[in-house]
C-alpha cells in the first residue's frame, strides 16, 4: 500500500476499477506522501481530504455506481480554480480568506467523472508569472533541486506530480503556465485547443488565450485527465462537445507523424545552447518513427509585441477594478502589466488582432506541409527560486517578467494544442522539456505523437522522485 504513490494515474485507476484499492486508501497514501515531502516543496498548501473521500462516493451513488473516468482518484486543483467550501486564495492576500460557495465548472466536471479533490496547488499571484511564489503561501521549489524554481504558474501542480504527492493535477495556461513548469519538473503539461475544456467563472468567456488543462507524469495520464475535463457547457460560449473518440484512444493506438519540423528558437531570440542541443537531439529521434525531420518554423513576425498587447488588454479586463481599489496589495509585476493595458489605445489593439489573424493563417498553411512542430519549451534550465524571472540570456536583457517566455506565448496566439514532454537532462541533472505543437484542433494527433516520443525517450519511468535538497 505504501508504494501506491509510485503508480501512474492509469495504473491507480485500474486498481480502483477492480476494487483492489479504495479511494479512501489512496487518499491516505497521498496524505502520507504529502507529509513526507511537502516541507521541502510547499506544493500543496491547502488540503481537503474529506472532500476527496466523500465526493467520489456521492457521485457514484448519484450515477448508479458509475465510477466515471477517474473512479475515485485523488488529485490536486490549482489555487486559481474555485472549489466550494475549500479555501481558494488565487495566491493573493486580497483573497487570503476566501472560501467560495460554488465550484468552478471544471471541478464539477472532474468530480462528476470520479475525481476526488484532495488539495489546492500553489501558484503565483493571480497566476501571473513563471516562478511560483506569493505572499499567502510562499515559494514552491523544484523536486529535482529544491534550491531552484519549479516554474509557473502551474508550479505547485508540477512539483506535486514529480514528487508523487498526487497522481494528476490541474493547470492553466495563458503564456505557458502548463508547459513551463512541466518542463522544469519533468512532467507532462498539456495546453488543449481553446474551448476543449469549459471555463466558468471567467472574466473573458469569449477569449481563447487562457485555457485550463491537465498535468500528469505520463502522456497517458494526461490524456486520462483530459477525458475527464472536456465537454460543452452553456456557461462557456466557446466550449466544444465531447469528441466521439476518447483522448486515451490516441495513446492506446498511436500513429506516428510523417513530417516533423523543428526549430531551436522559433526565429525569435536566444536559447541556452545546452537546452537547444538537447531538444535538437530529441527531434532527430523522430526519424526512428519513420518521420522526415526538417528545420523549419512558421513566421512569427511581430508575435512578441502582439502577445504583449493582447495579454495587457486581458489584464485590464480581469483586474482594472482591483487595481483601483487594492493597488497596494498587488505585486509590482502585475501592476506593471495592468498599467500596460490601461495605456493601450484602440489602434494598438486592432493592430495586434490583425497580426494574430495573419499568424494563424500562416500556421494553418505551415501545417499543410508538417504534422508536428517541435521546439524547446523554455529558453533556460530551472534557476534559483529566489530570482523573480530570467533577466539575461546570451547577452539579451529582459526587463519584465514576460519576455523570456516567448517560446510558449507565441504558440498561445496560434490556438494550436501544445504540450511539454521531458526529452533529456542537462549536465546539472535537470529535466529539459520539448515543446510539441499540433495543428489546429489536432489534440488527438498531438497526444498520439507524444506517446511514441515518450516511449523513445524513456524518461517517464524516472518519476516520481524524492525531493533533492
What residues are labeled active site?
78, 153, 177
Q: Give the residues across from 169 on adjacent strands.
A: 76, 215
**Residue 212 near residue 172, CB atoms below 8 Å:** yes
Q: Which 8-state DSSP code applies to residue 439? A: P
User: Is 318 in contact with 203 (CB distance < 8 Å)?
Assistant: yes
3-state helix/strand/coil string of 227-253: HHHCECCCCCCCCCCCCCCCHHHHHHC
CB count in 10 Å sphere of residue 453: 27
Number of residues assigned to the chain: 469
Counting beta carbons within 10 angstroms of the beta carbon of residue 376, is it exposed (0 to 12), middle (13 to 18) or buried (19 or more)? Answer: buried
- Vertex 42: Cα angle to 40 and 48 (nearest 5): 125
Write phi, then psi, for 126 (nearest 5 degrees). Answer: 55, 20
- Look up residue 76 and give its DSSP letter: E
d(CA 149, CA 41): 10
CA–CA separation, 420 and 250 (whole Å)? 17
The CA distance from 2 to 6, in Å, is: 9
Concatenating the DSSP letter of every residue in 157-178 gives: HHHHHHTTS-SEEEEEESSSTT
Q: How many CB atoms lie within 10 A of CB 28?
A: 16
Helix (H) or strand (E) holding 307: helix 303-326
C-alpha cell at 61: 451513488
Q: Could you give the CA distance from residue 146 to residue 440 in angstroms, rounded to a whole number?
A: 37
Amino acid at each position: 500500500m505504501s508504494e501506491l504513490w509510485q503508480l501512474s494515474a492509469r495504473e491507480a485507476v485500474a486498481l480502483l476499477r477492480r476494487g483492489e484499492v479504495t479511494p479512501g486508501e489512496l487518499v491516505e497514501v497521498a496524505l502520507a506522501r504529502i507529509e513526507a515531502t511537502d516541507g521541502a516543496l510547499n506544493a500543496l498548501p491547502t488540503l481537503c481530504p474529506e472532500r476527496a473521500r466523500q465526493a467520489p462516493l456521492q457521485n457514484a451513488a448519484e450515477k448508479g455506481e458509475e465510477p466515471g473516468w477517474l473512479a475515485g482518484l485523488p488529485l490536486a486543483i490549482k489555487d486559481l480554480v474555485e472549489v466550494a467550501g475549500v479555501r481558494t486564495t488565487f495566491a493573493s492576500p486580497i483573497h487570503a480568506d476566501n472560501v467560495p460557495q460554488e465550484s468552478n465548472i471544471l471541478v464539477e466536471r472532474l468530480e462528476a467523472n470520479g475525481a476526488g479533490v484532495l488539495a489546492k496547488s500553489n501558484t503565483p499571484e493571480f497566476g501571473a508569472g513563471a516562478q511560483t511564489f506569493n505572499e499567502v503561501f510562499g515559494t514552491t521549489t523544484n523536486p529535482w533541486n529544491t534550491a531552484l524554481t519549479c516554474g509557473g504558474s502551474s508550479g505547485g501542480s508540477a512539483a506535486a506530480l514529480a514528487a508523487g504527492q498526487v497522481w494528476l493535477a490541474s493547470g492553466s495556461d495563458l503564456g505557458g503556465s502548463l508547459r513551463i513548469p512541466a518542463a522544469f519538473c519533468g512532467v507532462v503539461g498539456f495546453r488543449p485547443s481553446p474551448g476543449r475544456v469549459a471555463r466558468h467563472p471567467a472574466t473573458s468567456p469569449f477569449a481563447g488565450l487562457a485555457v485550463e488543462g491537465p498535468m500528469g507524469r505520463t502522456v497517458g495520464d494526461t490524456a486520462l485527465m483530459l477525458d475527464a475535463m472536456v465537454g460543452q457547457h452553456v456557461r462557456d460560449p466557446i466550449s466544444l462537445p465531447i469528441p466521439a473518440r476518447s483522448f486515451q484512444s490516441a495513446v492506446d493506438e498511436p500513429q506516428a507523424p510523417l513530417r516533423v519540423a523543428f526549430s531551436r528558437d522559433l526565429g525569435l531570440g536566444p536559447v541556452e545552447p545546452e537546452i537547444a542541443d538537447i531538444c535538437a537531439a530529441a527531434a532527430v529521434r523522430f526519424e526512428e518513427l519513420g518521420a522526415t525531420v526538417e528545420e523549419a518554423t512558421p513566421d512569427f513576425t511581430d508575435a512578441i509585441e502582439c502577445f504583449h498587447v493582447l495579454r495587457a488588454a486581458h489584464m485590464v479586463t480581469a483586474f482594472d477594478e482591483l487595481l483601483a481599489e487594492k493597488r497596494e496589495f498587488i505585486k509590482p509585476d502585475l501592476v506593471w502589466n495592468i498599467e500596460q493595458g490601461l495605456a493601450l489605445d484602440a489602434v494598438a489593439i486592432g493592430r495586434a488582432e490583425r497580426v494574430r489573424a495573419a499568424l494563424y493563417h500562416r500556421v494553418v498553411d505551415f501545417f499543410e506541409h508538417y504534422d508536428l512542430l517541435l521546439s524547446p519549451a523554455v529558453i533556460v534550465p530551472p534557476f534559483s527560486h529566489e530570482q523573480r524571472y530570467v533577466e539575461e540570456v546570451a547577452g539579451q536583457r529582459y526587463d519584465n517578467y514576460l519576455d523570456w517566455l516567448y517560446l510558449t506565448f507565441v504558440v498561445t496566439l496560434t490556438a494550436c494544442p501544445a504540450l511539454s514532454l521531458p526529452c533529456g537532462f542537462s549536465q546539472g541533472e535537470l529535466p529539459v522539456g520539448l515543446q510539441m505543437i499540433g495543428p489546429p484542433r489536432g489534440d488527438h494527433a498531438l497526444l498520439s505523437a507524444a506517446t511514441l516520443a515518450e516511449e523513445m525517450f524513456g524518461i517517464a519511468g524516472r518519476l516520481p522522485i524524492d525531493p533533492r535538497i
